[in-house]
Structure formats: C-alpha cells, structure tokens
Amino acid sequence: MKTRFLLKACALLLAALLALPLAGLAQDALPAAPGQMPDTLRILLTYPSVTTQADIELRGVYTADIGGVTMLFPFGSEITVLLIGEQLYIDYAGMRLGAGTELILTRFHNDNGEENGLRFYGISALYEGDLALRVTNGVIRMILSIGVEDYLLGVVPYEMNDSFPLEALKAQAVAARTYAVRKALNSPNGEYHLSDTTNDQVFRGRLYEHTRAGQAVQETAGVCAFYNGELATCYYGSSNGGQTELTENQWGGTDETGYLDMRDDPYDLENPKSVVKSAYLRMTSYAPEDTPYALRALITEALQEALTERGYDPAPESLRIDAITNVSVDTPKFAAPSRLYTMFHITFSYSARTRTDPISITAGILADEIEISLFTAVPSPTPTSVSAFADTYAPTQTPAPTPTPEPIYGMFEPAEGEVTLSFPIFPDAEAALGLSINQYDNELWTVTETVDSFIVEARRYGHGVGMSQYGAERMAGQYGYSYTDILDFYYPGAALMRYANTETVLPGISTVFTRQADPPPSPTPRPTLMPATGAATEGQWYVRVANIGENSWLNLRAEPNLSADILMLLFKDQRLLVLERAPQEGWLHVKTDVIEGYVMEEFTEKE
C-alpha cells in the first residue's frame, strides 16, 4: 500500500513538472497564425425568445439610423422594439418612431471604463456587441455582432463549468475559439456565423462572476488549433464514456481531419462526474418484481410462442426469472478498437404460471332476453314535479359500478433448462434496462459480475468526438496537466498558433454627438419703466417710446442733437409727457416724473 502511494505521488509530481514548461511556452513561443482572425462574429440569438417585442437596456453608448436620421442613445437608455404588422417601431423616452423592417443598434467606444453592451429584460448577462433586429417570417430575428474574445466570455462558462480547473477551461477556450473562427471564415457572407444553441456552441452573454473562465479566455487570447496549416474543427462533448469516437462513425462521410482518432480515455472513464447509468440484475430471484418489469416484458415477448404452447400466461406478470447465469454484450458497430457494442445477451432459468379470467354472467344471453340486469340497480321513478312545501328533495342516486373480478392465477412452475436470448442494445435492451443517455444511440456498454449480481453500465453523454470535458477536468485537476497537454491528447497532430490583434476596436463617437449644446441665454430682465403722471396742459401731450426692438432703447439727450450728452436710456413703451416741439426739426422736449430731456420724434407714438 505504501509503495503504491509513493509511486502515485511520484507520477503526479512528474506530470506537474512536465506541464509547467508547456504552459509557459503556450503564451510566449506559439507561432503566428496565418491570415487574420475575423473582427466580429455574427451570432443568431434564440435566447431570450423574442417574437414581437424586445425590451433592452443599453449599458453603453449606442446609435441607430431611424427614418434617415441618426439617433444617439446615452448610457443607461431603456428602449422597446415592437413588431406591429410588418414594421418595427422603437419606443424611447415617450416617443414611438417607425424603424422599417430592420433596426441596427451600433455600439461605440466607452472612455469611462464602465461596462459596454446591452441587456435584455429579465436577463442579467451583458451582450457586448452591436444588435441587428430584423423582421423575418413574421417575428423579430436578433443577430449580435461581437468580437471573438468577447463572444468566448459568454461561451466558455456555459460549455464548461466555471468551477473546473483553469487549465481545463483554457483547453475549452481554445477549442471553442477554433470552432467559431473556422465557421466565420468559411461563411463570411452569411447572415450569421453561429447560433447560440448546442447546434454550434451555447452562448448566453457575459456574467462578471465567471472570473475563472474569463481568465482562461484572456490567457489564451488568439490561440487556435491548426492542422496542415488550416484551422481544425475542434469538436468536444461532455463525456465520451472512456473512448473517443471518429467523425465518420458519428456523422458518416470520410474522415479527413487527421487529428481526431479513436482511443481509450482513462481520464473520462475514471472521473466520478462522468455520466453513467446502471442496471442491477440479481443472479437469484424469488419474486417477479426482482427483475425489472420492462426486461420481463421484452423476454415474454420473445418467449410468447413457447409460453402459449405450454399453457402459460405470456404476460410479464406471470414470468419469474429464477436465476441469471450469464450476461454479456458484444458485436461492435464499427471496426476495432471500437467498443460501441450492439448486442445484449442474457442466459437465465425461469418459472411461469397460468391465468384464468372470470366469465361475465351475461355471456351468451341475447340482449332481448334480459329484462333486469343482476348488476344494475333499478332507478326510482323521476318525479314530474316537486311541491313548493316539501321539506327535502333527494335526486335519483347513481348506483356504484360493480368491480371487475380479478383474474385467477396458478402457481409458478419452473420451466426445464436454461434459455439464452439476444437483443439489439439499441433500442430494445436500452429501453428495457432504462440505460438511455443520448439521442445518438451510441452509449458504451459494459457488464461487471459481482457476488450476487450482474451490473450493466452505459456511458457517454454527447457524440464522443474530440475533447471530453470531464476528461479534461480530470487531466487538469487530478494529474496537473496543462491545457496544451489536454489539447494534444484529444487532438493529436494538431498544432497551436496564435492570432495577433485580438482586441475589439470600437469606433469613437462623432463630434456631432459629443459637442454639448450651450445653455440657452437667460433673458435680460426688463427694466421697470419710469412713472409719468403729470397733467398735460394746453399744447402738451403724451407719447410712448415705439418703433424699437423689445430689448433695444432710445437715448434721452441733454440737447436736441445727436452729439449731446445721453442722460438716460429709455425702453419700449416708456410714457413721456411732451412739453413742446424743439426748434430743431424732428426732436421733442419731454419729461417724466423723474427726468427731463430730448428724444427723436420718429421713435415715439402719440397716445
């Protein structure tokens, strides 16, 4: 025991020492990837499910072209996009604006370091990109344009749990990045590159609490897997059941990858988190229910002719598996070393019993010969009226149905000898033992014999091609392997290269939008006009200052000429008492209760 412990400790230490240089090389010595990584990925959003209304909070500065006019939405704006008929409308700040059949929200650079993206109502994740909303088949279709690294922040923690070891998450980041970049470069003109579902990769936006996944994305920025100078297709799944699968076995066609093979995966097999379903078949049984009902149903169907010939009831309830002496699986679906078995064999002895069903009392009696049924209560006559003075009234009672008599079973009688039956694993045995995991019919079955039982186990959750996520977790967490080691195990022959300039560069906002409007000038307080209350004597009259602007003035001068001193500024509607016309043409001699002087007559009106 002590020797085995020391050997295991040495193995772990050696694995850790080997992993350290590879992890260091991954960042500093990777060759440059050929070509250029796409600036953005276009993601078809199916979550949240939107049909005719999208409620969006803009956690960044966005613009949209609406009706030929560019509108700017500041940080924190809340908008609702509605589909009414065949047209989109946007509700914002009490306004409703028609947007036609397409609305694009464009994101701009944010200098203040705050989050920069958008959120959908009821979802806390941040979607860091531009959003196109289009009318498609009578509903709103949403497509997010997002940088590759920002996209991965919303993929990695949903494809692999954020609690997984960092090196496993790094391997996931590289596989997901390679898959996404390959699809984008292969369909540059498509409406979208990927969907946000398992049809491609699950994408649910960024949550800042996924710190470990964020670190994995950052520390592998731009790193992708290549084979013969071309981007690899880095398939991955939850659990391969202990053996990786070939693409041609899973999806048909010819394997042209060269970096995906069929190999045993001890890391997935030994991980206690890997999905396993088990069925226990007892070697010795004493009652029918000791064997799963669905398995007895499958067996009685196969033995129906033999049971019927011997007078036994060919139903699962009448079959008892007395002893199981052998259980096995074989016949691989594909060439060696495939362990995807297709046949299930069981050798057993059994007992069966007879069944007698009760005969109906009316069997053989013609309907017109029956006057009163022995099993039916005779109803009381229904009253035609009810007295208004009656204390009670009881409606006709419906008789309780007569219970169906139970069948009569005989004793269980053992059949002679043993029987060996063989069934296809998919779907017969799988359904009978409740061992279905996948939709692919590709689970790996094993049989283990114990002291009193046969244990049938099914493994594999997913297609089994490429990287096992639970295998990667085991490699990193239990044995200290680096992400490069993990990728080398699951994609043998692939080489890691790194794209440069992976940072998303956003446009700055035009000065048209950044220049703040000057505050409107405060109106100049209108001066209080002077009183003019003296009585006009003969030859005198009153005038008002007129024929000038609201905020203009008329000079009151000491003498009737333009070079005389200005005594005061007179404003519009100022009342003046005219004492006389001045000798100089066009001038009036005027006064108020406060002051006296001369003004030009053309800027006055007679009261």
pTM over cut 0.85: no
Residue 546 and residue 416 share a domain: no
Helix (H) / strand (E) element for 395: namely none
| pLDDT tens, residue by residue, 463-507 | 999 999 999 999 999 999 999 999 999 999 999 999 987 778 888
Residue 314 and residue 434 share a domain: yes
DSSP 487-501: HHHHSTT-EEEE-S-
| Residue 288 placed within a domain | yes
Do 220 and 483 meet the contact criterion of CB atoms below 8 Å apart?
A: yes
Tokens of 326: 């052998």
Average pLDDT on 557-568 reads 89
Give the start-end residues of each E strand in 500-574: 541-545, 553-557, 566-571
pLDDT(334) > 90? yes
pLDDT(282) > 80? yes
Cα radius of gyration rounded to whole Å, the chain: 45
Q: At what angle do helices 469-479 and 2-28 cross, to 10 degrees?
A: 110
| Residue 442 placed within a domain | yes
pLDDT at 369: 39
Q: Please name the residue ranges forming H helices in 389-534.
A: 430-433, 469-479, 483-490, 511-514
Average pLDDT on 117-130 reads 97
Per-position b or e across 336-345, b if 16+ CB within 10 A of its CB: eeebbbbbbb
What is the residue whose two structure tokens read 């940080």? 75
Which carries the bigger pLDDT value, residue 361 or residue 434? 434
Burial of 66 (0-12, 13-18, 19+ CB in 10 A): middle
Domain boundary among 459, 488, 521: 459
| pLDDT tens, residue by residue, 576-607 | 999 999 999 999 999 998 899 999 999 999 98
Residue 443 and residue 316 share a domain: yes
Residue 567 and residue 421 share a domain: no
How far is Cα 142 from Cα 119, in angstroms, rounded to an integer? Answer: 13
| 501 conformational bin, left if phi > 0, alpha if psi -120 to 50, beta if neither | left
| Residue 419 placed within a domain | yes
Domain boundary among 444, 459, 474: 459
How far is Cα 353 from Cα 296, in angstroms, rounded to an integer? Answer: 14
Average pLDDT on 5-31 reads 45
Q: How many CB atoms lie within 10 A of CB 51?
A: 9
**Counted domains in the chain:** 2
Do 182 and 171 meet the contact criterion of CB atoms below 8 Å apart?
A: no
**Which amino acid, residue 598?**
Y
Residue 443 and residue 311 share a domain: yes
Q: In what order do the strands lie in the sheet with 230-231?
A: 230-231, 223-227, 495-498
| Residue 323 placed within a domain | yes
Three-state secondary-structure class, residue 91:
strand
How far is Cα 335 from Cα 246, in angstroms, rounded to an integer? Answer: 11
Length of the chain counted residue by residue: 607
pLDDT at 449: 98
pLDDT at 526: 60
Average pLDDT on 158-186 reads 97
Distances (CA, A) of 44 to 138, 193, 215, 518, 547: 16, 8, 26, 43, 69
Confidence of residue 15 (pLDDT cuts 50, 70, 90): very low
Residue 290 and residue 437 share a domain: yes
Tokens of 336: 């060696």
Average pLDDT on 439-459 reads 97
How far is Cα 589 from Cα 604, in angstroms, rounded to an integer? Answer: 12
Average pLDDT on 430-458 reads 96
Distances (CA, A) of 311 to 286, 356, 546: 22, 11, 127
Do 475 and 267 meet the contact criterion of CB atoms below 8 Å apart?
A: yes
Three-state secondary-structure class, residue 96:
strand
Domain enclosing residue 305, as ranges: 276-356+408-459
DSSP 145-184: EE-HHHHHHTTHHHHS-TTS-HHHHHHHHHHHHHHHHHHH
Give the start-end residues of each E strand in 492-606: 495-498, 541-545, 553-557, 566-571, 575-581, 587-591, 596-600, 604-606
CATH of the domain at 595: 2.30.30.40
| pLDDT tens, residue by residue, 339-349 | 999 999 999 99
Among residues 602, 600, 552, 598, which one has the least CA distance to residue 572?
Answer: 552
Q: At what angle do helices 483-490 and 469-479 cross, to 10 degrees?
A: 140
| Residue 257 placed within a domain | no
Confidence of residue 553 (pLDDT cuts 50, 70, 90): confident
pLDDT at 529: 84
Q: How many CB atoms lie within 10 A of CB 89?
A: 17
pLDDT(373) > 70? no
pLDDT at 257: 74
Domain boundary among 459, 476, 494: 459
Q: What is the pairing mode between strands 541-545 and 575-581? A: antiparallel
pLDDT at 29: 84
| Residue 455 placed within a domain | yes
| pLDDT tens, residue by residue, 293-331 | 999 999 999 999 999 999 999 999 999 999 999 999 999
pLDDT(453) > 90? yes
11-20, 94-103, 180-189, 429-438: which range is least confident on average? 11-20
Residue 548 and residue 440 share a domain: no
| Residue 588 placed within a domain | yes
| Residue 336 placed within a domain | yes
82-96, 394-408, 479-493: which range is least confident on average? 394-408
pLDDT(25) > 60? no
Q: In what order do the strands lie in the sheet with 276-282?
A: 276-282, 453-459, 444-449
Give the start-end residues of each E strand in 189-318: 194-195, 223-227, 230-231, 236-237, 276-282
pLDDT at 594: 87
How far is Cα 442 from Cα 438, in angstroms, rounded to an integer? Answer: 7
Residue 430 and residue 562 share a domain: no
Tokens of 13: 């230490």
pLDDT(208) > 70? yes
